[in-house]
Structure 1
Amino acid sequence: MSSEALPAEVPGDQTEPQDSREGEPLAKQPRRRACNECKQQKLRCDLVANDAVSSTCSRCQRLKLTCKIDNDFRRTRKRRKSFELENEVRDLRRRLATREASSNAAVEWPILTPAVPSETRASDAIRSSPSNTSGPSLDPKESSRVPGLTTQPVIDQPQAPRRSIIAIPRPRKLGNVELSVEEIDELYLIYILHYHPYLPFLDPGTTIHEYYESSELLFWSIVSVAARRLQSHPTLLQKLARSVTDLLWKSLRSIPYSLRAVQSLIILCTWPFPTSSSTADPTYMLAGMMVQLGTQMGLHRALSAEDFVKVPLHLSMYEYSEWIKTWESCNIVAQSVSVGCGLPATIQMQDWSLTIAPESATLSLHDIALRWHLRIEQFRHRVSQALTSNALDPAGFTSVRERLSLYRLLNASLVDLEREAINMTPITRYYLSAARLHLHSFYLLDESSVDGYSDRIVVLYQTAYSLIEQCLEMDNEESGFFHYCPFFCYQVFVSAAFIILKVMMNGYFEKLLDVKSGRKLLDAAISSLRKMSVANNDLPGRLSDVIGFFCTLTDPRVISGDSIDDLRLRVRNRLSMSIVYDSLWEWRKHFQSDGNRDENSEIAQDKWTSPSYSVLTNTISTATIWF
């Protein structure tokens, strides 16, 4: 019971004098008063106050408490209560003045975060206070404690009522980067206008300052993505890369996790920091952690979220919607990252909670776009699972007859999906084109002797051709596709460019295709990849040099051979991205063998000094960046 409540007069505090039977004068009985401890608890106290004799009440004696009577206790408590009331009034006045002065500081609705154990709520409260913004956890030892290494129990308190957060815009600093309020607002506007439409899972009505109050990592993740193309501060992304990465690993070391941590991973996996080597890119690993953290928190069972915490938890409609959208985005990003890396996906696409969302009529346009993106990624996951489910095959491919039947069924499902999405946004239509390319890319893994092989390769070529044309059209619009698209969109674009390069330069198919228009489209693809490049010598820039290298060769059949049988891929275990890895192997093999063969010849000397070749030799290490 609170010590602030004023204790009532304790029964028996004073005794009435009793008459003497013998007519003797009234004897003054010892005066009884409650000690401080009993007063606080409003309990009966048997302490006898006597100036001459020091005594202790039975309750304090039993509980080994300090039993004393403080005459200033009541006055001290009143002063403390008055001081707290003054502070509360002062705080309310400040909030009211802030709300009236700046509409940006007013909260339209509260920042609702999923309930977590009490130690996490305390950590969040300390982190969001103005006097402590240095660390992501309250106590590093406590927050990083591994279950099972201590026998000390952690008792959770009942969940405190959720309150609205009034976030006052302030300058923020991380490492050697300090941003003003105006710069922060500009970056957030860039994110909402240009990046948010590709994965609209955050609430645009929540200000960037409110996101900072709930998660410092999420705040800086949004800022980092918006800084990718910031013309007024071209070095901001490089400055943020190390600091935000350090903050990410520091946050992941502190457990338990929050919804905002999962949302931060979604953003950083969709637009990762630029790197020159795929082997140094942690995106695939972070995508797996993202799904595992979401599952551990119970995002996949939002209706039964209380099963995953130790305190009573009842999600509001807003919170439930946020959990569902975050879990949908987890699966979208995990599947997209796995396709781009050519690796299996660690996702739960057959999750019951992904099929119980409200009808589309009750959803916003962004919610509908996110739901369509999820359906498309579910289809891509089904393609990979269906075509690589044979445990008897070294690469997991099903038998030839079964694969042909699956091609027909999957193509029919994709046509139905495209028919439903006829009125969707250009971004959704692009995701459908990427799904079609993912399915048709498996045609390259067939044997040339299989019925209809050449027809399927032509269809694959046309699919890749259409996807690149669609991307060029989207970039010509105000949206600027190549500047703002997610990283997995770049990976699909690279795959389409290598498909056109390999098929068009094959001796058999060059007679069936329009090679002139294909070369022209490849030139546009190379320029587009350089447009996607965010930093010097990053993956889009280096891969554009590899494609340009093959386009300048005097013998165009180096990459794909003369006959239809030469189109067979050497790399067969990277799913639909096998074409990219196979082409890089061919580039590496050709570059090394050609250099060793002509090293001491005059022809080689002329070749190495030619202008076109000298530029491309800057990519000598590019062949190793994907391995």
Structure 2
Amino acid sequence: MSMSYNASPSTMRTQQSGQAGAEYMRPHEAVASLLDLKSGGDFLRSPPDHMIDVKRLEDVTVHTDRVAELFNRFFTYYHPFLPLLETQKSSDEYYDTSPLLFWTILAVGSRRYQTDPSLLNALSGPVLRLVWSTLADVPQSYHVVKALALLCTWPFPTSSTSTDPTFMLCGMMQQIAMQIGLHRPSHAQDFSKYRVELREGELKDRVRTWAFCNIVAQRVATGYGQPSSTLFDCTLSSTEADLRLPPEVKVRLQIEKFCAKISQTLYSNRRDPVGVLSDEERYIMAAVLSRDFDDLEAQVKTETNSITNVYLRAAGLHLHLSIFFDNPTTKDYRQGLSALFLATTGFLEAALGLETPTGPVLSYCSNYVYQMTLAAGFSLFKLCNSFFAVHIDMNYTKSLFTRTIYALRNMSVTNNDLPQRLAEVLAQMWRMNGIGSRNHQIQRQQGNIGPSETGDSLMLKVRCRMSMSLVFDSVWRWREDFQARGKNFEAYLKNPTNPDSGADSSASCSSTAPIRTSTSTPAPGLEGLSTGPAADPTLTTPAITAGPITANLGSSTATTISGFNSSSLPSGFLEQNYEVFDPLNWMLDGLVEFPYAIQGLEV
């Protein structure tokens, strides 16, 4: 493992009774045990007066040896994507510092945990309730900001964007950070009525936390297509020894600053109802930003590892997705599409080939990487089904698109979560309307390819979600077509569509590609992939090769996670009465006569 974690040296604490041979608790010990359980104590007592060291949240109990294992998993697989915490601290130290941070680390570490696949589901409700009860207390500790940053980076699985609290938690994270003066770490006293004495190293930790607070806030804003609440102030650019950021953190901060610059420049026009610049202004500013990206790439080259490179490529994709707002008659429109294609393939190559000393780790990636992978998949689909297709190596692109579907499915951690559902949407769009499908061939034979020949097919109807408008717009179009066909989406989730099949039929559910057979950690050398037949073997190699996919797609039955199905998702994630209009949720959740039913739940 690339990063070791120092667990607490003791895993079991035992007290010997004063009377040898005692078989039962004495009355005062029974009372003490009940008090421990009520207050969330760290010990469970059992005859003859043994005290087992455990951690407990509501009705979830985790033994110390499992705590150490989950912490080790977190710092090995997840921490490299967001190196916010200190690896040398023990689990007991984190628990004493902030119970919310402790349980959040356990929750993230329990994703894809083979030993107890149901643990993530068991923790979801109690941890979220702990979040809201903790936020109700004022003032807050800055360690709560760390917990919120982790929850925004790896949210609990949900099948609907309307029940995803990530964007709301992100705003609270930023506001709490400023309320306690995290943006002015050397003047913490100004934000407290009590005397503040910072211990050795705490000043640097506060600066680091403030930096990652802004990094996470920008990634959430980019991935959800919303304005950001970042504050890239002088604290984050200070050269003082106590305030200076480590090189790795500084590089990632530079990348997110550039992403913020893209959003503010291209999607914050006060003269336009949707905030988009005019075609002429956008052309000029996009050219300036492209040169800035080249400069950024040159600056961070020496400090870029494989994960940082993925974030850098995501920034490039975020920039070039703006071409979908352009009119096809705009100057150098084809050059813009070429730049988008290069940015899309560059990001996917970096993401699908993501590997660290522990092996391939894409399935452990942050929610932001998943969102950008989804956007890249829709970008490939759009370009391949437009007039620009003649400029594309279709064999390479088809191979890359198929591998993108497999990658999205491997990012799924529970049945019926958003990565699984949207990967199926993308696969259906490709099979029913993509290059090589029967529909496309019939249209070409009949000469009904007019819109794509003029570039109209690349225009967006949804234009208020910044670079993510492409995703929302594509799902809107899919829903219109899907509803017209009268299909049942749940049948496709049980028998996933094979995007590599060119035939288009009413029974287009492929019986050869189960979504996921395990959430476990694969054997050495296969980390980050499903171990079942659904895994795409090509995902284990860093390089993407052109040519058709030859992977064996496996058996015909989609296996669910042991002890975990969609009916076991937190009740808050299954609420069907929404007051907030959400186009993506509307298309996936069965409103407006769309057939939708979660397994085990009648709607």
Residue type at the aligned position of 1:285: M
Identify if the C-alpha distance between structure 1 residues 501 and 531 changes in structure 2 by more than 3 Å, giving closer, same or farther. Answer: same
Please name the residue that 2:237 is paired with.
Answer: 355
> Quick one: which of 103, 107, 130 aligns to 1:220?
103
Q: Cα distance, 1:615 vs. partner?
A: 9.7
Please name the residue that 2:465 is paired with.
Answer: 574
Identify if the C-alpha distance between structure 1 residues 133 and 408 changes in structure 2 by more than 3 Å, giving closer, same or farther. Answer: farther
| TM-score where L is the length of structure 1 | 0.68
Please name the residue that 1:623 is paired with.
Answer: 587
Residue type at the aligned position of 1:376: I
**How much identity, in percent, do the aligned residues show?**
35
Q: Cα distance, 1:474 vs. partner?
A: 1.1
1:339-395 CA-partner distances (Å, limit 9, x unpaired): 11111112212x1211115579986xxx32222111110110011101123211122
Q: Cα distance, 1:623 vs. partner?
A: 2.7
Q: Cα distance, 1:296 vs. partner?
A: 0.3
Q: Cα distance, 1:541 vs. partner?
A: 0.5
Residue type at the aligned position of 2:358: E
Please name the residue that 2:342 is paired with.
Answer: 462
Task: Give distance in 1, aligned partners of 2:149 and 2:139.
Answer: 18
Task: Give distance in 1, aligned partners of 2:341 and 2:199.
Answer: 49
Residue type at the aligned position of 1:587: W
> Please, which runs of 5 or more residues in structure 1 have no aligned partner?
1-101, 107-129, 137-167, 597-605
Please name the residue that 1:291 is paired with.
Answer: 174
Residue type at the aligned position of 2:369: C
Residue type at the aligned position of 1:555: N
The question of 1:593 aligning with 2:484 is answered yes
Residue pair 1:277, 1:625 contacting (<8 A) in 2 also: yes
- Give the number of equivalent residue pairs: 457
For 1:509-588, what aligned pairs fall within 5 Å after superposition? 509-553=388-432, 554-556=438-440, 561-588=452-479
Q: Which has the higher contact order (CA 8 A, sep 6+)?
A: 2
Identify if the C-alpha distance between structure 1 residues 342 and 414 changes in structure 2 by more than 3 Å, giving closer, same or farther. Answer: same
Local SS of the residue matching 1:173 = strand
Which of 578-587 and 475-484 deviates more? 475-484
> Quick one: which of 182, 185, 196 aligns to 1:313?
196
| TM-score where L is the length of structure 2 | 0.71
Residue type at the aligned position of 1:104: P
The question of 1:182 aligning with 2:80 is answered no
> Quick one: which of 389, 395, 400 aligns to 2:268?
389
Which of 275-284 and 370-379 deviates more? 370-379
Task: Give distance in 1, aligned partners of 2:122 and 2:451.
Answer: 42
> Quick one: which of 326, 337, 341 aligns to 2:224?
341
Residue pair 2:207, 2:243 contacting (<8 A) in 1 also: no
Identify if the C-alpha distance between structure 1 residues 379 and 530 changes in structure 2 by more than 3 Å, giving closer, same or farther. Answer: same
Task: Give distance in 2, aligned partners of 1:305 and 1:278.
Answer: 37
Identify if the C-alpha distance between structure 1 residues 221 and 333 changes in structure 2 by more than 3 Å, giving closer, same or farther. Answer: same
Local SS of the residue matching 1:272 = coil
The question of 1:211 aligning with 2:211 is answered no
Task: Give distance in 2, aligned partners of 1:444 and 1:626.
Answer: 28
Please name the residue that 1:54 is paired with.
Answer: none
Identify if the C-alpha distance between structure 1 residues 135 and 286 changes in structure 2 by more than 3 Å, giving closer, same or farther. Answer: farther
1:535-576 CA-partner distances (Å, limit 9, x unpaired): 001011111101110121132489984431221111111101
Q: Cα distance, 1:476 vs. partner?
A: 8.8
Task: Give distance in 1, aligned partners of 2:240 and 2:412.
Answer: 39
For 1:7-26, what aligned pairs fall within 5 Å after superposition? none
For 1:603-614, what aligned pairs fall within 5 Å after superposition? 607-609=505-507, 611-612=509-510
Task: Give distance in 1, aligned partners of 2:172 and 2:264.
Answer: 21
Q: Cα distance, 1:244 vs. partner?
A: 0.8
> Quick one: which of 239, 244, 247 aligns to 1:368?
247
Q: Cα distance, 1:170 vs. partner?
A: 3.1
Task: Give distance in 1, aligned partners of 2:226 and 2:467.
Answer: 9
Residue pair 1:543, 1:622 contacting (<8 A) in 2 also: no
Residue pair 2:263, 2:466 contacting (<8 A) in 1 also: yes
Residue type at the aligned position of 1:463: A
Task: Give distance in 2, aligned partners of 1:476 and 1:221.
Answer: 24
Task: Give distance in 1, aligned partners of 2:241 and 2:589.
Answer: 45
> Quick one: which of 79, 82, 85 aligns to 1:196?
79
Task: Give distance in 1, aligned partners of 2:297 and 2:417.
Answer: 34
Task: Give distance in 2, aligned partners of 1:482 and 1:294.
Answer: 30
Root-mean-square deviation over aligned CA pairs: 3.1
Residue type at the aligned position of 1:624: L
Residue pair 1:529, 1:541 contacting (<8 A) in 2 also: yes
Identify if the C-alpha distance between structure 1 residues 580 and 265 changes in structure 2 by more than 3 Å, giving closer, same or farther. Answer: same
Task: Give distance in 2, aligned partners of 1:354 and 1:546.
Answer: 40
Largest Rg, 1 or 2: 1
Q: Cα distance, 1:622 vs. partner?
A: 8.2
Task: Give distance in 1, aligned partners of 2:418 and 2:339.
Answer: 28
